[in-house]
Amino acid sequence: MKFIHAADLHLDTPFQGLTGLPAELQQRILAAPLASLERLVDLALAEKVDFVLLVGDLFDRAQQSVQAQAALMVQLERLNAAQIPVILSFGNHDYQPDDADWHFPANVHAFGSQVETVTLTTAAQTKVAITGFSYAQRWLTTSMGGQFPLKMTDADYQIGMWHGQTGTAGDHYAPFSVGELLQKHYDYWALGHIHQRQELNAMPPIEYPGNLQGRQRNETGEKGCLLVTSTADHQLKPVFKSLATIIWQDWTPTLTSELSRSALLTQLTDQLNTTMTTPTQLVNIQLPATCQLTADAELAWSQGALLHQLQAATDGKNWWPVALQRPSTTESTALSFDGAAETWEQVGQNVVTTEQVAVLADRLLDEPFLTAALLEDMTSAQWQQRVLTLLTDHYQLTRQKDGPDDAD
């Protein structure tokens, strides 16, 4: 048996924060989520998979663009023509009422807001049960675990589909615990929601495939799906398949001596040309701390002119510099959090919560892009980190703290 597990397609993602792009590159970036879906279907056909699982956030918002809907239908039809079933669910971005009128091809099953199980029999007569649910609203705070049945005795394999993240009841994104999933004795858990690929359990596999295409600067590296194959001893083994046509990258060049503006540009361009191979890379450039700039280069950097000049040199290249950053050199001093670290932790955790942010944002949350920016693209921990960074920059406070975690 062989199947594809993908999630978080975000087909109509707006790619905010990119400015000054050449028109051709802008077109390719906007088309990238659809291009990666097309590649996913190419893979499904080439591998002759038995079925495809799409675990939530197919679209970036509850009201999808007509183009994204039409493009999804075209790709689902290709699978339909090859008689490959598709089981899908809606997530916190593309939540749907149960009576939403989708005219999917006959090969597609879309889960409703109540947990249900569909069964299918593969060409090799393997019986597979697939259990899942969709979001009917932006948040799903109740525990869905109780609705999931134990593994069916007459199924060769049972797979759970769950768009959400680990947590406790009351959390917003269908919270679960790994132990709770393991108790169901399923053979595979196909997760969605976290955009960074990760494995929560090896056997049976509990997997986030990550999103199909990075949507913003912090979603770096290769993106794609999991191709899952059964082994002779009845286990299911996932293998990552890269699909994204545009990749976001953090990159630090090798630079040492003091550099003038022109020397820096030449060295950056040369290194980017040799380092950035296909597919197209959107590069967040971090100059090394050891890199010294002459006065004119320093001025050009601080005014953003260096980045513009570098962007102007990308014609026909495989890379686009999104940002040109240097390590912060702010020496700090007057005040320190260190003595009051615990107090800060408590204040931060109590004040900067998703609920408080939601209350403050109020009706702004009716705008999908603000919901994404304010709530879904940032966890409480990331909000706390953001507030701390602002405080640190503004008041030149010092504090040692590890970075934010991945979410969404």
Residues that bind Mn ion (CB under 5 A): 8, 57
Q: How many CB atoms lie within 10 A of CB 84?
A: 21
Closer CB to Mn ion, 140 or 276, in the complex: 140
Length of the chain as a residue count:
408
Residues 190 and 5: beta-carbon distance below 8 Å: yes
Q: How far is the CB of 114 from Mn ion (least distance, A)?
A: 22
Residues 306 and 321: beta-carbon distance below 8 Å: no
Closer CB to Mn ion, 9 or 84, in the complex: 9
Closer CB to Mn ion, 12 or 57, in the complex: 57
Q: How far is the CB of 10 from Mn ion (least distance, A)?
A: 6
Closer CB to Mn ion, 192 or 204, in the complex: 192
Closer CB to Mn ion, 57 or 207, in the complex: 57
Q: How far is the CB of 26 from Mn ion (least distance, A)?
A: 23
Q: How far is the CB of 239 from Mn ion (least distance, A)?
A: 22
Structure-block tokens of residue 336: 């320190």
Residues 6+ apart with CB under 8 A from 404: 379, 381, 382, 385
Closer CB to Mn ion, 8 or 207, in the complex: 8
Q: How far is the CB of 400 from Mn ion (least distance, A)?
A: 31
Determine the Cα–Cα distance for residues 205 and 197; give it in Å rounded to an integer. Answer: 13
Q: How far is the CB of 193 from Mn ion (least distance, A)?
A: 6
Q: How far is the CB of 153 from Mn ion (least distance, A)?
A: 34
Q: How far is the CB of 195 from Mn ion (least distance, A)?
A: 6
| Helix ranges (DSSP H) in 48-191 | 66-81, 178-182
In the complex, which residue's CB is closest to Mn ion?
Answer: 57
Closer CB to Mn ion, 8 or 219, in the complex: 8
Determine the Cα–Cα distance for residues 400 and 398; give it in Å rounded to an integer. Answer: 7
Cα 210 from chain centre: 5
Closer CB to Mn ion, 57 or 219, in the complex: 57
Q: How far is the CB of 35 from Mn ion (least distance, A)?
A: 18
3-state secondary structure at position 373:
helix
Residues 223 and 244: beta-carbon distance below 8 Å: yes
Closer CB to Mn ion, 7 or 283, in the complex: 7
Of the CA atoms within 13 Å of residue 290, those in its CB half-sphere come to 6
Q: How far is the CB of 353 from Mn ion (least distance, A)?
A: 21
Determine the Cα–Cα distance for residues 285 and 242; give it in Å rounded to an integer. Answer: 23
Burial class (CB in 10 A: 0-12, 13-18, 19+), 270: exposed
CA-derived radius of gyration, the chain? 23
112-133 as b/e: b if 16+ CB within 10 A: bbebebeeeebeeeeebbbbbb
Look up tokens 């596999």; give the residue.
205
Look up tokens 């107090």; give the residue.
343
Residues 211 and 9: beta-carbon distance below 8 Å: yes
Determine the Cα–Cα distance for residues 300 and 319; give it in Å rounded to an integer. Answer: 21
Closer CB to Mn ion, 85 or 164, in the complex: 164
Closer CB to Mn ion, 63 or 274, in the complex: 63
Residues 6+ apart with CB under 8 A from 344: 337, 388, 399
186-221 as b/e: b if 16+ CB within 10 A: bbbbbbbbbbbbeebeeebbbbbbbbbbbbbbbbbe
Q: How far is the CB of 87 from Mn ion (least distance, A)?
A: 18
